[in-house]
Amino acid sequence: MLITKLGVEELKMYMQTHDIRGEFVRLEVPTPTVETAAQAVGTSPDQIIKSILFLVDSHPVLAIACGFSNIQRRVIADFYGVGKKKVKLADSDTVLQVSGYEVGAMPPFGHRQRLNTVIDRRVLDLPSAYAGGGAENVLLQLKPQDILQVTGATVLDLRE
């Protein structure tokens, strides 16, 4: 089955439709990791937001956290009332199918379908941050409060 990928243009349209402010930063190099993204824009890894798709009892859940933060599956499991083994990292095919974006380019919103979202409380302490911008060489600079507002995310302590 051929899956149509979403990209920067679709994300821009989503942001215009939902009145979300942000700046797209096009880079010379791909930024598939927090470290490469931070180096590319000259900031600390904590200013980089990662959007990670999990399957919780086979239902997609997006987790958003800062930089090198280790997202604790136990916290997500407890929130959804399932055992830790029911929380699995989605593989790259599933990420593309569910979100429309490839791993390493996934923004925190604007996906193929509305996703249940949890966000680490530390993300909201940042005045501004960089997130996936829809392509491996594009980052989106925005205010984390806007992510919370548009996604309706539940704020959790995902680092435990």
pLDDT digits 0-9 by tens, 42-97: 999 999 999 999 999 999 999 999 988 899 999 999 999 999 999 999 999 999 99
Assigned token pair, 80: 């959804």
Q: Is residue 3 part of a domain?
A: no
The CATH number that applies at residue 110 is 3.90.960.10
Q: What is the pLDDT of residue 1?
A: 57
Number of domains in the chain: 1
What contacts 24+ positions apart, CB below 8 Å, involve 39-47? 40/139, 41/130, 41/139, 41/141, 43/130, 46/122, 46/126, 47/126, 47/128, 47/129, 47/130
Q: What pTM, to 2 d.p., does this model score? A: 0.94
Residue 137 lies in a domain: yes
User: What are the pLDDT digits (tens) for 92-149?
Assistant: 999 999 999 999 899 999 999 999 999 999 999 999 999 999 999 999 999 999 999 9
Domain membership of residue 1 (yes or no) is: no
Residue 46 lies in a domain: yes
Structural domain of residue 41, as residue ranges? 8-156
